[in-house]
Amino acid sequence: ALEHLHVPADLVPGLTAADMEGGFYAHLRDRHGIRPAHAVQSIEPTVLSEEEAGLLDVPVLSPALLFDRVTSDADGRPVEYVRSLYRGDRYRVVSRLALADGAVGDPAADAARGGAWWGTVE
């Protein structure tokens, strides 16, 4: 996979590649007191450019999955933006869904409450 991580510079002054080796979220928590709380992530099909295909060792225009994620702290402050490209022939996306607390199974009523389902993607 190819992953590009963008972080507001004022949140992590002096960040180096070595800081990333122990885990970025651990670094945010331990060195800067920042605790990521939630994220919004989109997943969509795409094809790889010449540069991306070369880095992933596949033909140009090979299918891929594009993940875009914005992670925020509990106050809603964005703490990272991540863009990841995964080879389409090596990954699959699995979603685990469960009825949210208070869901009644009526689509209109549940939508008014913010939706009936919540889930995770593996």
The CATH number of residue 77's host domain is 3.40.1410.10
What whole-number distance in Å separates Cα of residue 105 and Cα of residue 120? Answer: 20
What's the pLDDT tens digit per position in 14-56? 888 888 887 888 889 999 999 999 999 999 999 999 999 999 9
Does 80 share its domain with 114? Answer: no
- What's the structural domain count of the chain? 2
pLDDT of residue 120: 59
b or e along 66-98 (b: 16 or more beta carbons within 10 Å of the residue's beta carbon)? ebeeebebeeeeebbebebbbbbeeeeeeeeee
Q: Domain of residue 42: give its range.
A: 2-91
Q: What is the pLDDT of residues 59-71, one digit of tens each?
A: 999 999 999 999 9
Enter the tokens of residue 99. Answer: 């009825």
